[in-house]
Amino acid sequence: MNITVSQHAGRVPVTVFHITGDIDTTTYERFQAQAQQAHAAGMRNLLLDLAEVPFVSSAGIRAINNIFNLLRTDAPGESDEAMRAGLRDGTFKSPHLKVLNPTPRVLEVLTLAGVDMFLEVHRDLKTALDSFGGSAG
């Protein structure tokens, strides 16, 4: 797995991880550590470009979930209660972590794992970038 990082300025700054290769038991720790380092350096919004990711294992799903939790804030719309209610009625999506262009196989894994319940999936970079910072929680 290789991660190329780019920065984009829209309504809010967005970091994009362009990932190439599998996110699995041999790579998930590096993936998660890179997100933690970026967060420590000030990154608050992350777009995962999965166009070149052929496979995500359960370890990769765990890493995505950990990154989701890392990026959560104390905004009222992101509280545990608001998130549970939003997941229950299908209205909660992470305002800070989103996915771009997952392959059909990876999208199927994200769906089976339930990750698509709280992550927006986008098909083009501009739309994905424009979706960040759309509303305050």
Q: Is the pLDDT of residue 137 over 50?
A: no
Q: What is d(CA 76, CA 60) in angstroms, rounded to the nearest whole number?
A: 28
Q: How far apart are CA 112 and CA 92, in angstroms?
A: 18
The count of structural domains within the chain is: 1
Looking at residue 77, which CATH number applies to its domain? Answer: 3.30.750.24
Strand 2-9, strand 13-20: pairing: antiparallel
| Domain membership flag for residue 59 | yes
Q: Which pLDDT does position 70 carry in this prediction?
A: 96
Is residue 12 included in any domain, yes or no? yes
Query: For a pLDDT cut of 90, what percent of the chain falls above it?
Result: 82
In a domain, 137, yes or no: no
CA distance 44 to 14: 7
Determine, yes or no, domain membership for 114: yes
Q: Is residue 136 part of a domain?
A: no
Tell me what pLDDT residue 92 has.
92
Say if 135 falls within a structural domain: no
133 falls in which pLDDT band (50, 70, 90)?
Answer: confident
User: 17 or 133: which carries more pLDDT confidence?
Assistant: 17
Q: How many CB atoms lie within 10 A of CB 88?
A: 10
Burial category of 68 from C-beta neighbours within 10 Å (exposed 0-12, middle 13-18, buried 19 and up): middle
User: Residue 47: which domain range?
Assistant: 2-130
Q: Is residue 96 part of a domain?
A: yes
**DSSP calls for 114-135:** TGGGTSEEESSHHHHHHTTTSS
